[in-house]
Structure 1
């Protein structure tokens, strides 16, 4: 059975890919239809033939951006054999390149952008955050089971600290046009993980 996309499906995917960068760079309110038309090379009717509204397109664009971020992170981390090593790798990877989509971390951008009354985008950003938290918490629990991480460590606390520190540092680095905050956050989080590693003996 053929899995090739129809012409309409290919056009829809192209719109989503192109729109993802525009929304991530300019936000929902800051993105105009003319910018979307210019980026996709389509007229208004060509875009809205595939999406009922700008909001529907923005949600699809965020989901695409998040799936790209998740895929790149997981591919890099799959090569690391241990849970604690994966946590260190997550930190290094984020500090080096927060997102493969232009505009920085789509999760942070969308969470801030949707905070003033876009419930659909906010719900998708919340789901993405929960997924990231769950992934990190699972790594901590696995590390505890394998005696790599000290017992008594809170998986939820470690996961939320990693995300909050990285996202906060990214915001500071972007506003100051200086990546020192990201570098400092990376070092601090590595020290934190070294502190929860189970000591031999």
Structure 2
């Protein structure tokens, strides 16, 4: 909590930080106002004094969760020395040994995206924006890797980026539904294969 913020902003920040794990684990529909007042120790009036409605709280919580997720991934990417290793972060940071670094409840993109579907357009757009940003982050790494001579110049950059994302999110979905994290680890090996296949000096698998 940033003590330098005005009291109203500190209260809003507290609400977001306390409810972020709640929404990520129970979802928008599964989270009641009673849940929110319980975890924040604030009254319903105080909640609505800072947010227009429950949806506004949920969107702010989603933004917070995705920021925590991005920071966790970014910290690993920044430590990697080569562009290949930066890409390979995506094949390791999500695995069953490391995924504790993410917000409680798992991947907020998958959780919110599944719940949004056709019923909560604002949530769908928020997830869409995050997915597109993730894609751009991967595209940037691949393009820089091509310029640095690490990756083949004929790489289908956007196709590769979306394939990595789809495999990761699909693997998370399968592992969550089956309660078997080993399935995600198996899928992440395919992500690793895709990354290795674009490295100069390696034959495409």
TM-score, scaled relative to structure 1: 0.94
Q: Give the SS at the match of 2:150.
A: coil
Matches within 5 A, 1:1-201: 4-95=4-95, 96-97=98-99, 100-199=102-201
Deviation by residue 1:124-178 (Cα, 9 ceiling, x = unmatched): 1111111000000111111111110111111111111111111111111111111
Q: How much has 1:190 moved relative to structure 2?
A: 1.1
- Tell me the alpha carbon deviations over residues 12-47 of structure 1, each in whole angstroms, 9 at most, x when there is no partner: 101001111111111111111111111111111111
Give the gaps of 5 or more residues in structure 2. none
Deviating beyond 4 angstroms after TM superposition, the runs of 4 or more aligned structure 1 residues are: none
Q: 2:77·2:89 contact (CA, 8 Å) conserved in 1?
A: yes
Whole-Å separation in 2 of the counterparts to 1:37 and 1:91: 38
User: Partners of 1:17 and 1:10 in 2: how far apart?
Assistant: 10
Q: CA RMSD in A?
A: 1.4
Q: Specify the SS of the correspondent of 2:102.
A: coil
TM-score normalised according to structure 2 size: 0.92
Kept in 2, the 8 Å contact 1:51–1:57? The answer is yes
The 8 Å contact of residues 110 and 169 in structure 2, kept in 1 or not, is answered as yes
Q: Match of 1:81, SS?
A: coil
Query: What is the Cα deviation at residue 98 of structure 1?
Result: 6.8
Query: 2:41 & 2:4 partners in 1: Cα distance?
Result: 23
1:100 CA drift (Å):
2.2
1 CA distance for matches of 2:118 and 2:28? 11
**For 2:100 and 2:157, how far apart are their aligned partners in 1?**
22
